[in-house]
A and B are shown apart, each in its own frame.
Chain A
């Protein structure tokens, strides 16, 4: 035994080499005995709220298209995706050939907007606006009190999906209709008015 320990391998005592190798075997064996498996989880969250409108340029007094309260000439309206995800820019312009002051001052415009919840869970949608030059209000019907901001409780999977954004004539149904009242006050400057609608959910 002593002779074995006295031997050297490349100048290193055999006892030390043997000890290190034994340690490697024990550590490796213990590590391999209690194995583990790794699994990847990839969760993709998609937007549950669908915003839409189905008024494809048509002018009329029904609830599914924008209309002027007590007026007949509708200014040009464009809705677009804002920078905040749900933000929509509403631009109220003068009708071509008609002076911009047609909408300003003292007139009121009603814009319906469809909301849908694709989630199986109930969600609460909060909507606010970012303008002080126009008097903007929200409600789920046109006869109640207009709110400066409001929370809209939506049940799971409320509304049918796929709004008529491409104006192919298919009417949407089952959506929650949010009415946006836009009133131009007396001191409103003539011209294009742009403001933002902020949507958030919880």
Chain B
């Protein structure tokens, strides 16, 4: 019995060690990059650091011509915002449609999920080939936008399906029984209740598009998005500016996640307070 306890503890210790080591393994490169981005003007791309400064961040703001990260950053944010809104709207409509289990809804489900399975590089490649054959131009706000939605939509769709799975249909039925139209029922009852899910879908749309590299590679025209410019710069030469832009773009991603998480909490609380404000009906 005692041997059994010891063994159990050993297993727990070993698994715990794997978990902690993996966490360190996953986080250390990112933290190292963040620390090294504050190296002095003569500093290199590895330890030891030569002093501490904001030099490379100032460099980001100063540089104008070739290595200017500001226009690509603006493009990436604009694209991410567009993907965020589009993903939320399309995912909400698609998941609402799936509730009725129409003819072909199974195939439809797999069609949407195909966006996660398909290798990103090849999705962009296919669009680039098609555009070339049809004589159409590529641009970040057309072709890149189209392939980003292919990637973000399935995540939003699955989020909305999960939300509708736990949805209490009786609430809508009650509204319909009270002669509300389908339209009114949707906007007054359904939409406020699934709003946290819609915000989640919008978050997927934003961050997945903002960070996307593989799909953009072939599908983007001469005006490039931030990940493409970062990669081009990295391919030429690794400089501490890249660490600085890496820290900035990571901060943007995590800031977006935090902002959306706050929004979800806010709306959930508001819905709950409203629900409590209505006196409960007496149902025998």
A and B found bound together:
no
Interface residues, chain A, with chain B CB atoms under 8 Å away: none
Interface residues, chain B, with chain A CB atoms under 8 Å away: none
